[in-house]
Chains A and B, each alone.
Chain A
Amino acid sequence: MAILEIKNVSKFFGGLAANSDVSFSVEEGMIMGLIGPNGAGKTTLFNCITGYYPPSKGEILFDGRRMNGLDPDKVCMLGMVRTWQKVRPLAKLSVVDNVMVGALARTSSLKIARELAMEQIKVVRMEHRADFIAGGLPIGERKKLEVARALATQPKLLLLDEVMGGLNPAESEEIIQLILDIKKRGLTQMVIEHDMKAIMRISDRIVVLTSGEKLTEGSPQEVVSNPDVISAYLGEAHA
């Protein structure tokens, strides 16, 4: 069953079409990869899906419900949560307090929220950092904190915007394992990623965007062997 359906979504900024007529759907339990060169409109699409921008045209259906024009907080309460390409820790709060903010979306009790938060902190293996101030963490741990905080809102669909960006290979590997762990628990994920090797390993399906349009969609193998994709990434000569 499709948990998320993107139907002919376009987003214009003045005359510029950041997304035009993009359609695809995400099946429950899968990992959907979203790739494309810089400026292809991946993050804009995330912003449209999660309520930061209203789409100019088209429809976004989550769990069969029309999401257009809903505010980000409503989107989160309905079960869709995102992380940020440029990490946004609540810098002056401790790691556990950061994750508690996410958990408080589902409970009003601080005690329960703290327990839920500690669970998610364990999932990203940051127990030893629980009482650290988030602003002082290195980038790899900030990225993991983003994931833990998002998980604490108990989503049905997790949208990860370049969680591996800026990480070293060892840290990336840790994130890959984390994403696969999350999949095992049955959570649907949509992942924007630049690291082709990583996205090929984790994705069940991949959508390729270029210049705001959907270029193709398919299994990782189909996508890498598609000459259009190769030319979009490397130029015509390599296709």
Chain B
Amino acid sequence: MNKTILMPIVVLVVLGGLLAIPKFVDSPYALHMMILLFMSVMMGQSWNILGGYAGQHSVGHAAYFGVGAYTTMMLMHTKQIAPWYGVWAGIALVVVVALIIGSICFRLRGPYFVLASIAVAEILRLSAINLTTLTNGAEGILATELPAFKIGGNIITDFATKVPFYYIGLFLVALTIAVTYVVQHSKLGYFFQAIREDQDAAHSLGISISLYKNIALVISAVLTSLAGSFYGIYVGFVDPPTVLGLDVSVQIMLICIIGGMGTLWGPVLGSLVLVPLSEALRSNMITEALVKVGMVNAESKIGIFLKENLSHAHVLLYGILVVVVILFMPDGLMGFIKKLAKRRKQEAV
């Protein structure tokens, strides 16, 4: 079937299914997993615009995530400003931060840009720890009481369940993917990819390198900040390591690397693998599954060992998986799928 007809149909069906999920599923845990998935797709897709399309591998995206999360939370906590207003302040601040970072770091290429991006995120993390009057330092900000969302006096939702968060997340994911789609199918997408493939060649073809790198960064940073704000209000708590830490930056990047950089659906695939996997490892589901299928006796030495240690080892196992994917699928899952499709096509011929 024609790909150009098939794709919108698939997207609409999936979107319809996702819209209907809360009507049929009322397990808060399932909704929580979906919300985590949405957040992951947003983070990966935002990075994808700068890292995947424009080829600027930022390892400091926690900076934008954290600034978004902190701004929204700080305004809500200290000034009682509702997050749907605070998020705009977060976006404005992130644009400023991004342009400062961009004007400094984009003078550098390749590994030097990567190092500079890490440095900037670390500066922000340390600032958040030490500017205690503003950020409450290492203790972080706890603000779980969300005001009710009203339109014209009617309460739309009071955020008592996970359902409103689910829909906000779904909306934001759709927005992020839509933005990426529009970028990919415009002059911007072509220029970003030209810069990624060969900066000097792009420059000779009339592309202002600094202008278009900064555009990519601002789009990416704004979307990342939205994800950060959403994280803040959903979890109700932010502190420096969870929103500004280096591992946040790495996590954001991995979603994309594993799914496939510079592809529209790569971050979605990456999230579909990483989110359930890290959850399964963390909550010891794997040991339980092994016991259930009878491969391991829960009372045996191995069973007890796994039960006690596997959940602690989740970071290690996660790391091994990342290494395996990078070694055997250098273009990520999307690249792998495309390769398989191409091979099948050739075999058919």
Which of A's residues lie within 8 Å of B, judged by CB?
50, 52, 71-73, 76-77, 81-82, 84, 88-93, 97, 100-102, 104-105, 108, 110, 113, 149-150, 153
Given contacts A88-B200, A90-B198, A108-B187, A149 and B205 within 8 Å (CB-CB): yes
- In the A-B complex, the 4 residue pairs with the smallest Cβ-Cβ separation, listed nearest first, are A105-B206, A76-B206, A90-B197, A88-B201
Please determine whether B207 and A73 come into contact, CB atoms closer than 8 angstroms: yes
With contacts A90-B194, A90-B197 known, is A101 near B208, CB below 8 A? no
Given contact pairs A73-B203, A73-B208, A77-B206, A93 touches B187 in the complex (Cβ within 8 A): no
**Chain B positions near chain A (C-beta within 8 angstroms):** 185-187, 190-191, 193-194, 197-198, 200-209, 262
Bound together, the chains give a CA A89 to CA B198 distance in angstroms of 8
CA distance A91 to B194 in the complex (A): 9
Bound Cα distance from A45 to B183, whole angstroms: 37
- Determine the chain A residues whose CB is within 8 A of the CB of B191 once the complex forms: 101, 104
Q: Within the complex, what minimum Cβ distance (angstroms) separates A198 from chain B? A: 23
Contact of B193 with A90 in the complex, beta carbons under 8 Å: yes
A149 to B207, CA, bound (A): 13
- On whether the beta carbons of A76 and B205 are closer than 8 Å, the reply is yes
Is there contact, CB below 8 Å, between A73 and B209?
A: yes
A72 touches B197 (CB 8 A): no
Given the complex of chains A and B, what is the CA–CA distance between A101 and B201 in angstroms? 10
Interface SS of chain B: helix
| A152, closest chain B residue (CB) | B205
Please state if A88 and B198 are interface contacts (CB–CB under 8 Å).
yes
A188 to B202, CA, bound (A): 22
Contact A101 B204 (CB under 8 A): no
Residues of chain B with a CB closer than 8 A to A149's CB: 205
Contact in complex: B185, A110 (CB < 8 Å): yes
Nearest A residue to B203, CB-CB? A72
The contact sample of 26 A-B pairs, CB cut-off 8 A, is: A52-B203, A71-B203, A71-B208, A72-B200, A72-B204, A73-B205, A73-B206, A73-B209, A84-B201, A89-B197, A89-B198, A90-B194, A90-B202, A92-B193, A93-B194, A101-B191, A101-B202, A101-B207, A102-B206, A104-B190, A104-B191, A105-B206, A105-B207, A110-B186, A110-B190, A150-B205
Q: In the complex, which residues of chain A have a beta carbon less than 8 angstroms from the beta carbon of B187?
A: 104, 108, 110, 113
Whether B204 and A82, one on each chain, are in contact in the complex, defined by CB atoms closer than 8 angstroms, is yes
Q: Does B206 lie within 8 Å of A153, measured CB to CB?
A: yes
Q: Provided the pairs A88-B200, A90-B198 are in contact, do residues A105 and B205 lie with their beta carbons within 8 angstroms?
A: yes
Chain A residues with CB under 8 A of B190: 97, 100-101, 104, 110, 113
For residue A89, give the distance in angstroms from its CB to the closest CB of chain B.
Answer: 8
Question: How far is it, in angstroms, between the C-alpha of A150 and the C-alpha of B206 when the chains are bound?
Answer: 10
- Report if A76-B204 is in contact (Cβ < 8 Å); known contacts: A92-B193, A101-B190, A110-B185: yes
| Shortest CB distance B196–A (Å) | 8
User: Is B201's CB under 8 angstroms from A90's CB?
Assistant: yes
Complex alpha-carbon distance, A52 and B203, angstroms: 9
- Bound-complex Cα distance A88 to B207 (A): 15
**Which chain B residues lie closer than 8 Å to A52 at the CB level?**
200, 203
The CA of A216 and the CA of B173, in the complex, are separated in Å by 65
